[in-house]
Amino acid sequence: MTKTRWARVLVVEDSPTTARILANGIARDPRLAVAGIAQTASDAVLLAEQLAPDVVTVDLLLPDQTGLDVILRILRLRYVPIVVVTALPQNSSSLAFRALLAGAADIVLKPAGTAAQLDAFFHDLNERLALLASAAAVPTHTHPPPRMLRRRLPEARAGLACLAVGASTGGPPALVDLLSGLGAGFPAPVLVVQHIAAPFVEGLVRWLNQETPLPVSLARHGQRLEPGRVYVAPAASDMTVGAGGILVVTPAQLRRAHIAPSADALFESVAAVYGPSGAAVLLSGMGKDGAVGLLKVRKRGGKTFAQDRKTSTVFGMPDAAGRIGAVDAFAEPRSIGLHLRKLAAGSERVAR
């Protein structure tokens, strides 16, 4: 009988009390073992080199350097999945997204101290740590040159009226690449579902506005979609499209494995409203949210893409979609964006 290998975790946290809580909560998962605890940036880098952990948690506020510096220094040694565990206030969340762009795989918010909240926090955190440690992860902060999609796709004859995007773990940096590939003036609205802790959603919108060429805003119920704008689903809400291109934002029904917002709900609405003139992209993430909805887009004649295994932090969502035949082509996000821009340009020529 083969013994299951533990994933070894390095905890980087300056507060002794919080470090102890994190270590105890992580260690209760049979898939994980705490290899060490570092309370300063210098110790974190030293232990990362000595212990060669499978995954690292990093607080962003350390006494000698920021967690961002720790991430950069550790990733210079070798690639290891890093999860930011932070209590940053909302107005300081740009540091968290800079950490993601620097190579951190995910970000979670430190919980309040009630037993129920701690149980929920460690259930989520440990699942992420175990998955990231076992995944064939690669640095998400590098930008490989665009390459050809897996197979050539037909020209878009029905026009490209709407693009929907779903993402989870590893999604924010992938979104930056995808939107950069689309470029300024993309001639269709872009709707984004990103699974991320609620306090960071507005920070995500601000960060995407800084890092990408398209204007990004938080979706509001009743808005009419405009070409060349990006709409991000609010926290704990489902975002769909109604007749006439009107946004429908409602409290999440939590009907799809407790995922909110739901990429499936968004994709299904795009399939129903836009048919062959819709397109959908599924980026890096845990689980299978978006797979069924992506298949509906494809069955209605829309264009469907997913991030490839090589550049996905976690290949769960793209893989789930591929397994049910929902994906026209896999590629890195920037290449998908460039291809969609060409399709949109071709659509405009056909329309004329």
Does pLDDT of 91 surpass 70? Answer: no
Grade residue 73 by pLDDT with cuts at 50, 70 and 90.
very high
Q: Is 145 part of any domain?
A: no
Output 15 or 345, whichever has higher pLDDT.
Answer: 15
34 three-state secondary structure:
strand
| Residue count of the chain | 352
State whether 73 and 183 are in the same domain: no
Output 288 or 147, whichever has higher pLDDT.
Answer: 288
Q: Which domain holds residue 233?
A: 162-351
The average pLDDT across 22-39 equals: 96
Report the pLDDT value the prediction gives residue 134, as an integer from 0 to 100. Answer: 85
Does pLDDT of 277 surpass 90? Answer: yes
Does pLDDT of 258 surpass 70? Answer: no
State whether 98 and 242 are in the same domain: no
Q: Count the domains in the chain.
A: 2
**At 55, which CATH number?**
3.40.50.2300
State whether 203 and 90 are in the same domain: no
Does pLDDT of 156 surpass 70? Answer: no
State whether 185 and 106 are in the same domain: no
The average pLDDT across 298-304 equals: 97
Residues 295, 326 contacting (CB under 8 angstroms) = yes
- Asked if the peptide bond before residue 261 counts as cis, ω within 30 degrees of 0, the response is yes
State whether 117 and 188 are in the same domain: no
Q: Is 243 part of any domain?
A: yes
Residues 144, 261 contacting (CB under 8 angstroms) = no
The average pLDDT across 191-207 equals: 92
* Share of residues in the chain with pLDDT > 90 (%): 71
State whether 193 and 338 are in the same domain: yes
The average pLDDT across 39-62 equals: 95
Helices (H), 28-170: 41-51, 67-77, 94-102, 115-134
State whether 112 and 226 are in the same domain: no
184 three-state secondary structure:
coil
Q: Is 143 part of any domain?
A: no
Angle between helix 115-134 and helix 16-27 axes, rounded to 10 deg: 70
For residue 53, report the phi and psi dihedrals to the nearest 5 degrees.
-65, 160
State whether 130 and 236 are in the same domain: no
Side-by-side strand order, sheet with 32-38: 32-38, 7-12, 55-58, 82-86, 106-109
Does pLDDT of 116 surpass 80? Answer: yes
State whether 190 and 315 are in the same domain: yes
Kind plus residue range of the DSSP H or E element containing 136: none
Report the pLDDT value the prediction gives residue 153, as an integer from 0 to 100. Answer: 47
The average pLDDT across 195-204 equals: 89
Report the pLDDT value the prediction gives residue 317, as an integer from 0 to 100. Answer: 96
Q: Which residues are catalytic?
A: 168, 195, 289
The average pLDDT across 177-183 equals: 97
Q: Is the dihedral of CA 124, 126, 131, 132 positive or negative?
A: positive
Residues 252, 275 contacting (CB under 8 angstroms) = no
Residues 170, 284 contacting (CB under 8 angstroms) = yes
Report the pLDDT value the prediction gives residue 93, as an integer from 0 to 100. Answer: 65
The C-alpha atoms of residue 198 and residue 252 are separated, in whole angstroms, by 13
Q: Is 102 part of any domain?
A: yes
Average the pLDDT over each of 107-116, 242-251, 300-309 and give the range with the smallest value. 107-116
State whether 178 and 325 are in the same domain: yes
Average the pLDDT over each of 81-95, 168-182, 268-282 and give the range with the smallest value. 81-95
Q: Is 60 part of any domain?
A: yes
The mean of the pLDDT values for the chain is: 88
Q: Report residue 116 as tokens.
A: 């129920």
Report the pLDDT value the prediction gives residue 347, as an integer from 0 to 100. Answer: 55
Residue with tokens 């984004």: 192
Residues 265, 249 contacting (CB under 8 angstroms) = no
Output 145 or 120, whichever has higher pLDDT.
Answer: 120
The average pLDDT across 69-73 equals: 94
Q: Is 155 part of any domain?
A: no
**At 241, which CATH number?**
3.40.50.180
Grade residue 142 by pLDDT with cuts at 50, 70 and 90.
very low
* Region of residue 245 (left: phi > 0; alpha: psi -120 to 50; beta: else): left
State whether 99 and 204 are in the same domain: no
Does pLDDT of 162 surpass 70? Answer: yes
Q: Is 147 part of any domain?
A: no
Residue with tokens 């902060």: 141
State whether 178 and 301 are in the same domain: yes
Q: Is 14 part of any domain?
A: yes
The average pLDDT across 172-198 equals: 95
* Share of residues in the chain with pLDDT > 70 (%): 86
